[in-house]
């Protein structure tokens, strides 16, 4: 089964956020019982989503059924302002009834990043059932998009792009001269549903490059985000009007 890719364009960032939040709510409603695994994204874009979830879906979503993981993390302590975990904690996790033991942060501040990544792999395998390829299959993965085409901490030209056997790895990023911890494509592409959340005019050129290349308009090496293609799941690009302004408009959703 090939990945099902959908591009959805909204009038504003709020439309992107609302659709993503409804997706989580619908997944919860469609599953009468059992745990639901979600991979949270880092960066500035998800903060709006997390605040919306805490404000508008606090009572609606069965937080006690969620197993929450992180798609990547910076090598900083959890209380650091750059921490993806801290962002999620302050905007969402501290405001909803999700049990602390069901929030699985990456311990990327540890000196032995390789060992920490292996432990995170084991933690994912304990809580996220395998898919058809025997790789853990998340119910939902949220991703952001960098202006250079990176997603999670899969940056252009980095070693993690070529990883095929591991599902979580350390990754040195020369452009920022720092290490990160990140999901690999193997894990992302095993998910049941993957959503890119992208808004703002600064992202328009890279959106054009990536979505244009998927239509056969570009022949150079793919950007990391282009390699996200769930094997047995759905891929959705959720764009606001500004982020989509340089691509062919497949439709506008209010």
Main-chain phi, psi angles of 101, to 5 degrees: -70, -10
Count of domains forming the chain: 1
Terminal Cα distance for the chain, rounded: 30
The b/e string for 109-137 (b: 16+ C-beta within 10 A; e otherwise) is: beeebeebbeebbebbeeebeebeeebbb
Q: What domain range is 164 assigned to?
A: 7-197
List the CATH number of the domain containing 30. Answer: 3.40.50.1360
Question: Is there a domain that residue 212 lies in?
Answer: no
Local structure of 130: helix, strand or coil: strand
Kindly indicate the confidence band of residue 253, based on its pLDDT and cuts at 50, 70 and 90. low
Which residue in 138, 143, 67 sits closest to 105, CA to CA?
67
Kindly indicate the confidence band of residue 44, based on its pLDDT and cuts at 50, 70 and 90. confident
Q: According to the model, what pLDDT value does residue 132 have?
A: 81
Which tens digits make up the pLDDT trace of 71-94?
A: 999 999 999 999 999 999 999 999
- For 158-201, give the DSSP string: -GGGG--S-SEEEEEETTTTEEEEEE-HHHHTT-SEEEEEE-SG
Question: Is there a domain that residue 131 lies in?
Answer: yes
Give the dihedral of Cα atoms 102, 108, 114, 116; nearest 10 deg. -30
Question: Is there a domain that residue 152 lies in?
Answer: yes
Question: Is there a domain that residue 220 lies in?
Answer: no
Kindly indicate the confidence band of residue 32, based on its pLDDT and cuts at 50, 70 and 90. confident
Residue 172 reports pLDDT greater than 50: yes
**Rounded-to-integer distance, Cα 216 and Cα 84, Å:** 34
Q: According to the model, what pLDDT value does residue 16 have?
A: 97
Question: Is there a domain that residue 230 lies in?
Answer: no
Which tens digits make up the pLDDT trace of 180-189?
A: 999 999 999 9
CB atoms within 10 A of CB 5: 15
Which tens digits make up the pLDDT trace of 143-169?
A: 999 999 999 999 999 999 999 999 999
Q: According to the model, what pLDDT value does residue 221 have?
A: 66
- For 14-74, give the DSSP string: HHHHHHHHHHHHHHHHH-SSS-EEEEE--SSHHHHHHHHHHHHSTTTS-GGGEEEEESEEE
Q: According to the model, what pLDDT value does residue 248 have?
A: 73
Residue 10 pairs in a beta bridge with 240, 253
Residue 214 reports pLDDT greater than 60: no
Question: Is there a domain that residue 172 lies in?
Answer: yes
Residue 65 reports pLDDT greater than 60: yes
Which tens digits make up the pLDDT trace of 95-144?
A: 999 999 999 999 999 999 999 999 999 999 999 999 988 999 999 999 99
Q: According to the model, what pLDDT value does residue 227 have?
A: 96
């Amino acid at each position: 089964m090939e990945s099902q890719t959908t591009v959805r364009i909204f009038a504003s960032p709020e439309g992107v956020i609302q659709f993503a939040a409804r997706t989580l709510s619908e997944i919860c409603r469609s599953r009468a019982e059992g745990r639901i695994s979600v991979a949270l994204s880092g960066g500035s874009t998800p903060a709006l989503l997390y605040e919306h979830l805490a404000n508008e879906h606090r009572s609606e979503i069965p937080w006690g059924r969620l197993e929450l993981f992180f798609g990547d993390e910076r090598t900083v302590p959890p209380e650091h302002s750059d921490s993806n975990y801290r962002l999620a904690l302050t905007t969402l996790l501290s405001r909803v009834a999700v049990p602390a033991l069901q929030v699985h942060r990456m311990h990327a501040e540890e000196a032995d990043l390789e060992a920490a990544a292996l432990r995170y792999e084991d933690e994912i395998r304990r809580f996220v059932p395998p898919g058809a390829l025997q790789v853990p299959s998340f119910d939902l993965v949220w991703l952001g998009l960098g202006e250079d085409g990176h997603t999670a901490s899969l940056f252009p030209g980095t070693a993690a792009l070529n990883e095929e056997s591991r599902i979580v790895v350390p990754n040195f990023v020369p452009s920022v001269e720092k290490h990160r911890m990140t999901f690999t494509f193997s894990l992302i592409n095993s998910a049941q549903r993957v959503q890119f959340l992208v808004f703002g005019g600064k992202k328009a050129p890279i959106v054009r490059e990536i979505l244009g290349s998927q239509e056969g308009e570009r022949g150079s090496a793919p950007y990391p985000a282009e390699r996200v293609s769930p094997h047995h799941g759905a891929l959705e690009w959720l764009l606001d009007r500004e982020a989509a302004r340089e691509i062919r408009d497949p439709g506008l959703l209010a």
